[in-house]
Structure 1
Amino acid sequence: MKVSTAALTALFITAPALATSPPKPFADTIYHNAQVVTVNDAQPEAQAVAILNGKILAVGENADVLRLKGDKTKVVDLKGLTMIPGFIDAHGHVMNTGLQAVSANLLSPPDGPVTDIASLQQALRKWAEVPVNKAQDFIIGFGYDDSQLKEKIHPTRFDLDKVSTEVPILIIHQSGHLGVMNSKALEMMKLTAKSKNPPGGVIRRVKGSDEPNGVLEESAFFGALIPLFSQISPDENEMLFRAGMDLYAKYGYTTAQEGRSMSDSIKTMYEIAQHDPLPIDVVAYTDIQLGTETLKAPYLSRSYTNGFRLGGVKLTLDGSPQGKTAWLTKPYLVPPEGQNAEYRGYPIMSDEDAEKYVGMAMENGWQLLTHANGDASIDQYIRAVKNATAKYGAKERRFVAIHAQTAREDQVQAFKDLNVIPSFFPMHTFYWGDWHAQSVLGDERAENISPTGWAMDRGMIFTSHHDAPVAFPDSMRVYSATVNRITRSGRILGKDQRVSSMTALKAQTIWSAYQHFEEDTKGSIEVGKVADLVLLSDNPLTIDPMKLANISVLTTIKNGEIIYTKANDKTALESCASSTRCQKLASHTMMIAGLIPHKH
């Protein structure tokens, strides 16, 4: 009789040790009386988990695992709580998430107070009145979203001038792809009617003139931010970095991603890990357009050094669908201000450049994560991968299509054919689903954003992400959106694209581990894997799916050690908001952007 590998695996996991086997060592910690969701198809459920030296020693029934209790074993009765593997970030920006700590909160409900331009202005005024902020001679805000403002428009320089004409103001769109400056900031950045649009970007203008209206898109906006992040000091980088990691841990992430870094940031994160091991694992990807000097040892590695490693490279081909800068093959339903009815967004680069960078990654054996939101940019990426594969041969590279928001069904099939992993952004169905249907794409195209159902139809794996700080790294909000696809108004957006609770959990654990080449050590609760675990208030596989977003992360465990508990959840991000040291970082941020003079 032929016995399957899965059956043999299950046998060895669950069978009691034979009398001739050497005795197992005692555990450091045993968690028992739990609902253990292992995400291991060979042993999907268990009651107890034993940990030794940061790794999983045993998984099984209470009685079997408790046999590993020694005199020094810590035994924790979970009294029916649910345990799952630690969440693995398929795409986010853990260092940039710390930016929220030093900015006025301009997010809309449920994450912030801003509902219209008046409340945005009030949030900026309130932030500016805090003494430690008032002393900085600038105002910075993060997270405004024109789709959630009552006016359904971007604020302009003139709206920000009503907050102040004396100090520079910079506010950042929730997508991270646009920003707005007041007149003082534009003056200091020397942006005038004579300023030309940079390649891959737009300086929006006052209607009927060439004067900038304050709104900057894509490379016009990044032109100010890239020097900012390349020049802040290691100490300031560390504050952002640790604030981001603490927020990730709060939501149950034991592995985070820094999805677009520069060489200096890579070096800084590596050095931080050397002098103080990171609380969670961080895998970073360097922007392939901004330099490749760190793509070597000790940075580039498949294994972590004190919690950090460089995993490969990032390429960006277009912008944001909710910001209407993503590159589409068909026009936007409602074009943005200043564009005609045929407006389809725009590419960041030419086909030749896209093929150059994809080919460079293949030739050098670098894993490539490619931001492609619009279906035209996805076409560009698919062409580049096809041509590079023809030149360099088909190999297991685990290239990733980041977001792939508007991927057509034929493009999902192309991902499968080319062994490209789609990392979808299902949270869009909640945050911007109504906006996509009513203004961005129209009903038909909006129904199929982040088409996880098409991937499942083809037997593909996919991953789900939050793209923090675009949204909070809220694991359960990601989970709920992947399963339910419910918009803010309560509409189910794309019922045929919904997936099961187990599929959604795999997309945030074992499949995300696979994306990072880490499926042998992470992503499921199995003997020998690292003890990265999360305790939840409810079982996501048995609760009403509509209540998934309400599940609380109670405890986060990394390498067997507790790094977060809900009972003590004042994260670094929250404490940083009132910290003079953190606000000094904000001041330096604006200095580097050229918005306030350096003070010596």
Structure 2
Amino acid sequence: MKASLFTLTALAVSFSVFADSPTKPFAETIYHNADVITVNDNQPEASAVAVLNGKILAVGSDENVLKLADARTKVIDLKGITMIPGFVDAHGHVMNTGLQAVSANLLSPPDGPVTDIASLQTSLRKWAEKPINKAQDFIIGFGYDDSQLKEQIHPTRYDLDAVSTEVPILIIHQSGHLAVLNSKALDMLGFTAKSKNPPGGIIRRVADSNVPNGVLEESAFFGALIPLFTQISPEENELLFQAGMELYAKYGYTTAQEGRTMSDSVTTMYDIAQKKKLLLDVVAYTDIQLGTDIMKPPYLSQSYNNGFRVGGVKLTLDGSPQGKTAWLTKPYLIPPEGQTAGYAGYPIMSDEEAEKYVGMAMKNGWQLLTHANGDAAIDQYIQAVEKATQKYGAGERRFVSIHAQTAREDQVQSFKDLNVIPSFFPMHTFYWGDWHAQSVLGDERAENISPTGWALDRDMIFTSHHDAPVAFPNSMRVYSATVNRITRSGRILGKDQRVSSMTALKAQTIWAAYQHFEEDTKGSIEVGKVADLVLLSDNPLEINPLELADITVLSTIKEGEVIYTQEAAIADNSCSTSRKCQALATHTFMIAGLIPHIH
């Protein structure tokens, strides 16, 4: 028999009747009858968690933790729902994710509707017809992927001109490393047949001519994008930032990263935080090539100021493997348009420049995140770290190799030797695994992208990330890919690189907190740590690993306050199991009846 709304509410909510005591410690909130995965090896499981002043007061059995309740305590019966620590973003771009949230969705299934150039054009037209978007006098789309288009090619200026020749159009590749502009936008930004390729970038051309075909790679694209972003008003920036944080919260992230930013964006995020405490904790890394004037207090800090801090600097050494701009030691299986056999991508900078920037970070004591996808770029990075370490000595710097997609086994060993944390991108196995095998790298190299297994073989920690807005900040898709490595076609790509569900969870929680120097305050459910908690529809350690991507985030709790709850799922036909729907219903009524403060 189905439970009524009244019954579910009564089951979910109970208030303690303990007498007040001026000497006994009390909890503001106690969650009990829960399936708690603490991610704390010393106390891996519990059934109750008490919260006071945004921190975890107690973890343990219902019997022991409920002793901390009195008449002031909210006591929440979770009816067996799973609780885990809040996810910590090991690498993403929370402010740019806001741009994704407000742009035309050009993603391919399962995340969007685009399967060919015609459907891409349709998505742009539909977006542009909305009054709020029409008023922008600019059409922007995010997430097209040539590997998933039926034509298997990039759109060109002429495909976008078919949408409009009067309004400038910019569409961004899902990798974030390429873009396409229509003729109007190219004219506005000064791209002509006389334009030369900038260092570290390429302006693709119409066949047998110098005329730009609209596709811009790497620095050619970034150089075009920066002037557009400087025109965004403070109010629009705030909306983008908020939209990005809200999307992160939907997927259970309580700490977000802005993994490559500029000084003016840092001040923007800081100023927003000063007006009102941020929804999440946000740690930013400023582009070391674009100026380091911001690398000082109050911005640079080990602690958060109303939810914001600068954690260090970012260096970019190459591009995207799926976009075929990453710098490899061996050629791409199939070269991209305009390139010949033997093409292996290209570096962003010289060895001397890389060594200069790595040395600058080490000299100043700045944590450095370095984007290096191709193994040639990883070689360049390792060489730079080795030289800087010889000069400045070893230390607890927690430098990070971002993506390290095609890292060879010898390079993983070098990471260990140099105390570099690899932050891998296992989601590639799902989104682009087939593309890597069939077009980018070939079978042998594709099997070992994001080589988490090689890291574990060496007793290393690693982190797993989504790189949003390259992909949605979907924590469960990250989780599933790290464990299963299943491609879109159902192939297991690199069975020896798979890891356990617990290892993958650590890579998104306690190990990611360690990467940010925050392991003492976050990443596990332990007494004294911040009450960053997530409620899930299923226990990821108990279900079939192939079902991990289907787990639903029911609620995200930041420092004891609910910042996201999944209410709409009750009426949504997406509930795949009665167990999940029951969990959603129970949880939603509990939150609605108990916790009034939902951001």
TM-superposed CA distance for 1:569, in Å, is 8.5
Question: Structure 1 residue 176 and structure 2 residue 198: aligned?
Answer: no
Question: Structure 1 residue 134 and structure 2 residue 134: aligned?
Answer: yes
TM-superposed CA distance for 1:568, in Å, is 5.7
Distance in 1, matches of 2:568 and 2:242, equals 17
What is aligned with 1:482?
Answer: 482
Deviations 1:254-286 (A, max 9, x none): 000000010011111111111100111000000
Which aligned pairs between 1:58-457 and structure 2 lie closer than 5 A?
58-457=58-457
Distance in 2, matches of 1:230 and 1:516, equals 29
Deviations 1:391-417 (A, max 9, x none): 000001000000000000000000000
Deviations 1:125-165 (A, max 9, x none): 11122233234333211110000001110001111111122
- Confirm or deny: 8 A CA contact 1:88 1:509 kept in the other structure: yes
DSSP-derived class of the 2:426 partner: coil
Q: Which amino acid aligns with 1:223?
A: G
Deviations 1:542-577 (A, max 9, x none): 01000000000000000011111001689xxxxxxx
TM-superposed CA distance for 1:237, in Å, is 1.3
Q: Which amino acid aligns with 2:213?
A: N
TM-superposed CA distance for 1:224, in Å, is 1.1
Q: Which amino acid aligns with 1:48?
A: A
Q: Which amino acid aligns with 1:204?
A: R
Q: Which amino acid aligns with 1:256?
A: A
- Confirm or deny: 8 A CA contact 1:230 1:262 kept in the other structure: no
Deviations 1:276-310 (A, max 9, x none): 00111000000001111111111100000111110
Distance in 1, matches of 2:175 and 2:123, equals 19
What is aligned with 2:43?
Answer: 43
Distance in 1, matches of 2:472 and 2:185, equals 28
Distance in 2, matches of 1:394 and 1:136, equals 51
DSSP-derived class of the 2:567 partner: helix
TM-superposed CA distance for 1:212, in Å, is 0.7
Deviations 1:487-528 (A, max 9, x none): 000000000000000000000000000000000000000001
Distance in 2, matches of 1:101 and 1:246, equals 10
What is aligned with 1:580?
Answer: none
Aligned residues: CA RMSD: 1.2
Structure 1 residues 530 and 454 mapped into 2: Cα distance closer, same or farther (>3 Å)?
same
Structure 1 residues 24 and 465 mapped into 2: Cα distance closer, same or farther (>3 Å)?
farther
Distance in 1, matches of 2:546 and 2:540, equals 10
Distance in 2, matches of 1:509 and 1:451, equals 19
Distance in 2, matches of 1:517 and 1:165, equals 50
What is aligned with 2:581?
Answer: none
Distance in 2, matches of 1:24 and 1:492, equals 55
Aligned residues: 549
- Confirm or deny: 8 A CA contact 1:142 1:173 kept in the other structure: yes
Distance in 1, matches of 2:506 and 2:24, equals 30
DSSP-derived class of the 1:137 partner: coil
Q: Unaligned 5+ residue runs, structure 2?
A: 1-21, 571-599
Distance in 2, matches of 1:542 and 1:556, equals 21
TM-superposed CA distance for 1:450, in Å, is 0.3
Distance in 2, matches of 1:361 and 1:57, equals 38
Distance in 1, matches of 2:30 and 2:122, equals 51
DSSP-derived class of the 2:241 partner: helix
TM-superposed CA distance for 1:23, in Å, is 6.0
TM-superposed CA distance for 1:24, in Å, is 4.7
- Confirm or deny: 8 A CA contact 1:202 1:219 kept in the other structure: yes
Q: Unaligned 5+ residue runs, structure 1?
A: 1-21, 571-600
Distance in 1, matches of 2:464 and 2:69, equals 37
DSSP-derived class of the 2:309 partner: strand
Q: Which amino acid aligns with 2:416?
A: K
Deviates more, 1:247-256 or 1:121-130: 121-130
Structure 1 residues 257 and 171 mapped into 2: Cα distance closer, same or farther (>3 Å)?
same
What is aligned with 1:56?
Answer: 56
DSSP-derived class of the 2:198 partner: coil
DSSP-derived class of the 2:184 partner: helix
Deviations 1:100-143 (A, max 9, x none): 23311100001100000111111111112223323433321111
Which aligned pairs between 1:432-581 and structure 2 lie closer than 5 A?
432-567=432-567
Distance in 2, matches of 1:92 and 1:242, equals 15
DSSP-derived class of the 2:155 partner: coil
Structure 1 residues 238 and 284 mapped into 2: Cα distance closer, same or farther (>3 Å)?
same
Using the size of structure 2 for normalisation, the TM-score is 0.90
